């Protein structure tokens, strides 16, 4: 969805090393040059530092292209990386072509008669792009439908370096080891991610699993019986499962903190909040916002940043991470002791925003990027990334003082971070539709496009 999806679904989900002073403490902890183990990498921060990443490339002309590997089927899940291996999921239909309609539009009807699918996990050599192994997790007619802009493989897998967890919503949760051996699987029944106002508008499940300290965390906000669950990574045993009185969402959970203070953060419509990682007990809650939540919570400067859109509101909220109880804003209020700042309109619909250095960057589907001071909410600038991109669905990632924004038509806009106005460094073609969020590993960028996995490197 991710996040869609990481892409998060829906309608539905600079070379150089940054100076330490440029990074928040949270981002310093998230620094990692090699492993990108889940949606948006370590801590879902979207940030990787330590090795210079490319600023320019051109895939059609093979400029700074390391390799590209065909990936059959249709999926918006993102690649993840552990040392020398990449993992990626897809859903392969028995039809010759899986339809996909990009752009900004307002159709809500799902795809009909999508055919028999095989849900597949790929393991790929990071250096060469060679497929090491692939495993069919499930095969059959999808148990629910997808939006015309969605897929049946929206959830980004997660790994701890020994095991890989893949989630396909109604088609189940699967855990493999690095040799491709299935260790366990779980069936949670029908997880109907549909527009609650028009239940026939099924759009495809997209909340990605995450792994933290040997625990798999799942956010399943659906039409009936929504829940947050924690499972033992080694055995698949459910450690705790908490019901949520919420409507369908396409957001993935995020984890913040250490030890006994670790909490699981969730976006939502009725119930935004933080839960105790060890027990699932609610720590704080917040209500308000758009009625189709897709972006994953991000953190920095002691704050959790929540944004969503659709319906009457498209807000951004900055909520203190030491909150307790109900901290919802009173009617007509834009801030409080526990909510230092908020914005009523202009929040992101599909993209998970990014906190980078002292700034919070929020990009809408139409490519309008707003930069705020993370601590205060002061608007630094608002500008459009450009025209002709067909919309922006994949979420941004950052490294070395640069932020990468992927357009749906496959052009990647690279901007300079930390400036008082928008400064575009490059616009780089991937040569194909892209609705997924890239991964960063050891200075290289990995993009999942409509039919390929692409490695970009300046080495």
| C-alpha count within 13 angstroms, C-beta hemisphere, residue 445 | 35
- Asked if the structure places residue 1 within a domain, the reply is no
Collapsed DSSP state (helix, strand, coil) of residue 231: strand
- Asked if the structure places residue 387 within a domain, the reply is yes
- Asked if the structure places residue 37 within a domain, the reply is yes
- Asked if the structure places residue 240 within a domain, the reply is yes
- Asked if the structure places residue 9 within a domain, the reply is no
Q: How much is the mean pLDDT over the chain?
A: 91
State the distance between the two ends of the chain, measured CA to CA, in whole angstroms.
30
Q: What is the pLDDT of residue 422?
A: 98
- Asked if the structure places residue 4 within a domain, the reply is no
* pTM for the predicted model, two decimal places: 0.92
The arithmetic mean of pLDDT across residues 274-289, rounded, is: 96
pLDDT band at 97, cuts 50/70/90?
low
> DSSP labels for 98-144?
-----SS----PBPP----EEEEEEEEETTT--EEEEEEEEEES-SS
Q: What is the pLDDT of residue 310?
A: 87
pLDDT band at 288, cuts 50/70/90?
confident
Q: When comparing pLDDT for 332 and 123, which is higher?
A: 123
Total tally of structural domains belonging to the chain: 1
**In the predicted structure, residue 96 carries a pLDDT above the cut 90:** no
- For residue 311, what is the domain's CATH number? 2.130.10.10
Which residues form the domain of 74? Answer: 20-456
- Asked if the structure places residue 139 within a domain, the reply is yes
Q: What is the pLDDT of residue 221?
A: 97
pLDDT band at 27, cuts 50/70/90?
very low
Q: What is the pLDDT of residue 357?
A: 97
Q: What is the pLDDT of residue 13?
A: 38
Per-residue model confidence as pLDDT tens digits over 393-415: 999 999 999 999 999 999 999 99
**In the predicted structure, residue 101 carries a pLDDT above the cut 60:** yes
The DSSP 8-state label assigned to residue 223 in this structure reads S
Q: What is the pLDDT of residue 6?
A: 38
Per-residue model confidence as pLDDT tens digits over 115-174: 899 999 999 999 999 999 999 999 999 999 998 899 999 999 999 999 999 999 999 999
- Asked if the structure places residue 362 within a domain, the reply is yes
């Amino acid at each position: 969805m991710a996040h869609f999806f990481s892409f998060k679904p829906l309608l539905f989900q600079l070379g150089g090393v940054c100076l330490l002073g440029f990074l928040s403490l949270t981002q310093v902890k998230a620094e990692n040059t090699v492993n990108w183990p889940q949606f948006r990498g370590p801590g879902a921060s979207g940030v990787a530092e330590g090795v210079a990443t490319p600023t320019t490339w051109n895939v059609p002309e093979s400029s700074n292209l390391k390799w590209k590997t065909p990936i059959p089927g249709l999926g918006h899940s993102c690649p993840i990386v552990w040392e020398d291996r990449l993992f990626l999921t897809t859903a392969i239909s028995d039809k010759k072509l899986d339809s996909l309609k990009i752009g900004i539009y307002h159709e809500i009807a799902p795809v009909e008669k999508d055919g028999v699918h095989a849900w597949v996990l790929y393991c790929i050599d990071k250096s060469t792009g060679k497929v090491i192994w692939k495993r069919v997790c499930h095969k059959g007619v999808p148990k629910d439908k997808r939006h015309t802009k969605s897929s049946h493989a929206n959830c980004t897998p997660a790994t701890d370096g020994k095991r890989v967890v893949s989630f396909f919503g109604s088609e189940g949760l699967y855990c493999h080891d690095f040799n491709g051996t299935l260790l366990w699987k779980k069936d949670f029944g029908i997880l109907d991610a549909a527009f609650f106002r028009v239940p026939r508008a099924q759009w495809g499940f997209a909340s990605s699993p995450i792994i933290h300290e040997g625990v798999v965390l799942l956010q399943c906000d659906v039409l009936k019986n929504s829940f947050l669950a924690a499972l033992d990574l080694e055995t698949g045993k459910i450690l705790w499962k908490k019901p949520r009185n919420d409507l369908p969402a396409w957001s993935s959970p995020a984890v913040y903190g250490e030890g006994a203070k670790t909490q699981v953060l969730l976006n939502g419509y009725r119930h935004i909040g933080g839960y105790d990682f060890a027990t699932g007990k609610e720590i704080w809650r917040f209500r308000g916002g758009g009625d189709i939540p897709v972006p994953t919570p991000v953190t920095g400067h002691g704050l959790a940043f929540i944004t969503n859109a659709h319906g009457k509101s498209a807000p951004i909220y900055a909520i203190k991470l030491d909150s307790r109880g109900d901290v919802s804003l009173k009617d007509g209020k834009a801030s409080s002791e526990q909510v230092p700042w908020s914005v009523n309109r202009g929040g992101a619909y599909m993209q998970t925003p990014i906190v980078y250095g002292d700034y919070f960057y929020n990009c809408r589907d139409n490519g309008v990027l707003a930069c705020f001071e993370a601590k205060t909410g002061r608007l630094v600038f608002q500008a459009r990334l450009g025209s002709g991109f067909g919309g922006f669905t994949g979420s941004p990632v950052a490294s070395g003082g640069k932020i990468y924004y992927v357009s749906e038509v496959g052009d990647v806009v690279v901007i300079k971070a930390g400036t008082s106005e928008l400064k575009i460094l490059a616009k780089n073609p991937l040569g194909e539709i892209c609705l997924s969020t890239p991964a960063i590993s050891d200075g290289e960028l990995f993009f999942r496009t409509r039919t390929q996995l692409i490695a970009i490197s300046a080495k």
